[in-house]
Structures are given as structure tokens and as C-alpha cells.
Amino acid sequence: MMKKFRVKVEIRLKDGILDAEGRTIERAIKRFGIEAENTRKGKIIEFTTVGDNKEEVVEKIKRLANELLINPLTEQYILEVKGEEA
């Protein structure tokens, strides 16, 4: 029986890659009188999918992330997969 899983993929630039948008956001934060440093901007993609087990879903999402969602030369991702209650 197929199970439902909630998937969250957080995408951000790799360390050492200039994050121009992050710097712009950081300057704006500081204009509000809030101390900020090392500000990074990223993306979050969330969706629900189905699979036989968590391991299968994780492997499929890793392939999706590496082949479609990120540029592996400049971006990295953090993957979170949680089973949903029936």
C-alpha cells in the first residue's frame, strides 16, 4: 500500500558563492536597526507525494533535486521527508 509523504527541499547557494540578494536583504535589515550578518536567500519547495517507503521517496527526491531543482555547481539543498498520518 502506498503511503503519503510530505517533502520539503530547501535550496540555497553553496558556501563561498556570492549571494548578492542576501547582501541586499542584509542592508535592508540593518536599515531597520536590526543587526544582521551572513544573510543568505534561498528557496523552499514543499509538496506531498506517495511511495512504498521513506527510503524510496528520499532517493527519488534526491534525483529530482540534483537533475532539476538545483544547479549542482552553485547550489546545495537540504531534504526533509516526513510520513503523513493516515
How far apart CA 11 and CA 26 sit, in angstroms, is: 19
CA-nearest of 40, 44, 50 to 77 is 44
Q: Looking up cell 538545483, which residue turns up?
A: 70
Q: What was the pLDDT predicted at 67?
A: 97
* Burial class of residue 76 in the structure, from the number of CB atoms within 10 Å of its CB (0-12 exposed, 13-18 middle, 19+ buried): middle
Residue 56: which CATH number? Answer: 3.30.1280.10
Q: What was the pLDDT predicted at 6?
A: 97
Write out the residue range of the structural domain in which residue 64 sits. Answer: 3-83
For the cut 90, the answer to whether the pLDDT of residue 62 exceeds it is: yes
For the chain, how many helices (H) and strands (E)?
2, 3
List pLDDT tens digits, range 2-45: 999 999 999 999 999 999 999 999 999 999 999 999 999 999 99
Q: What was the pLDDT predicted at 54?
A: 95
| Ordered alpha helix ranges (H), 1-86 | 20-31, 54-64
| Counted domains in the chain | 1
Q: What was the pLDDT predicted at 84?
A: 78
Q: What was the pLDDT predicted at 85?
A: 62
